[in-house]
Amino acid sequence: MAKVIPVTQPFLPPLDELHAYLEKIWQDKCLTNNGPFLQQLEGELAEYLGVPHVSLLANGTIALVVAMQALGIKGEVITTPFSFVATAHSLLWNGIKPVFVDIDPVTLNLDPNKVEAAITPQTAAILPVHVYGRPADVDRLQGIADAHGLKLVYDAAHAFAVRHRGASLLGHGDMSVLSFHATKVFNTFEGGAIVCRDEETKRRIYFLKNFGIADEVTVVAPGINGKMNEFQAALGLLQLKYIDRCIAKRREIDKVYREELAGVPGIQFLSILPETESNYAYFPILVGPGHALTRDGLYQKLRERDIHARRYFYPLISDFPMYRDLPSAALDKLPVARRVADQILCLPIYPDLTRDEQERVIDVLRGG
């Protein structure tokens, strides 16, 4: 039986290196609550990513929820239907109404024209996603936010270490939110972070992720328990040592896919965007009418060969029961997102994917 090839697989640092961090945790008996490894990781991440401030949290979803709280966002928020459900769930958990608009057919990110047309007096913010780590139209979105007095928060779950026009993509908007889930380029098993611009905002985030506690007798905000623990932070410190070589390996895999799949009928992959240094987090393809199989037929054939590609993102968020009755979720309002969701397929890409395993994937797509 052939080895199962997942769509992604976390990079794990050598156990002997992890052991030294565990010994330190055991010795200090500091397991959580803003411990030394967490503080060290926040500093090293801010330096590596080239951003002013990083706040670490237990996971990316809590980070999104806290970001909305920290900015005091209420009312309606314009966002994309083409994302993981956590993007919209973070709004519902804050009592905010999501307003979905369609996506750009090239970048697969929010279409700024549709964003501007959807603004109403109830609109408080825009929540774009850098889908697959591909930059949203940061200039136009910032212009729209400024013109209408809106907050701009980026779901940057896919965008770790992505640089755009020579600077970190995470520096745009009021905040950027990262996920460090095990499926991501950089992971702490579970984890997340908020990138913000100033120390005062970082302090507010700290209160919100720690029950709102300022000291033993003072609670200043209705916070939750969103803290990252020391084990997660230790793993992150080790991951950071290897992140450049992991991204380099992903780049090689991306290059092979592009060379080997070029010209395969009905298979379209996304263009390399100018002025962008990618992290190669995903390798999405669009399966069109010219291919011998439908997208779902190809997905099933890959599964039969023990290759676990993923229809990522399908269905659209707007198709799920808690969202489908919103006026903005109507089928005729999201034609590009609908087409892309019906054609999208993400192929396996991770540092330990071997060339032989990648050739198995390519062979199926070529009709083998």
DSSP letter assigned to residue 126? E
Hey, what are 233's tokens? Answer: 């932070």
| Pair of tokens at residue 82 | 């083409």
Mean per-residue pLDDT of the chain: 97
Phi-psi region at 149: left, alpha or beta (left = phi > 0; alpha = psi -120 to 50): left
pLDDT of 1 reads: 58
What are 63-81's pLDDT values in tens digits? 999 999 999 999 999 999 9
pLDDT at residue 273, rounded to an integer:
87
Would the pTM count as exceeding 0.75? yes
Strand pairing partners for 172? none
Q: Are 98 and 92 in contact (CB under 8 A)?
A: yes
Q: What is the pLDDT of residue 166?
A: 96
**Beta-ladder partners of 154:** 176
Residue type, 185: V
pLDDT-derived band at 41, boundaries 50, 70, 90: very high
Query: Each residue of 82-138: pLDDT tens digit?
Result: 999 999 999 999 999 999 999 999 999 999 999 999 999 999 999 999 999 999 999
What gap in Å lies between CA 366 and CA 368, rounded to an integer? 6
pLDDT of 162 over the 70 cut = yes
Give yes or no for residue 274 having a pLDDT over 90.
Answer: no
Residues in the chain, total: 368
Q: Tokens 């928020």 identify what position? A: 77
List, in order, residues 6 or more apart from 51 with CB less than 8 Å away: 168, 170, 171, 176, 195
Tokens of 251: 């780049």
Residue 234, both tokens: 């230790």
Cα–Cα distance for residue pair 318/207, rounded to 1 Å: 32
Cis preceding linkage at 81, omega within 30? no
Residue type, 37: F
**CB-CB contact of 104 with 153 (8 Å):** no
Q: Which domains does the chain have, with CATH numbers?
A: 15-101+108-238 (3.40.640.10), 243-365 (3.90.1150.10)
DSSP 188: -
Q: How far is CA 185 from CA 277, 284, 301, in A?
A: 14, 15, 27
**Residue 233: strand, helix, or coil:** helix
Q: Tally DSSP H helices, then E strands, for the chain.
A: 11, 17
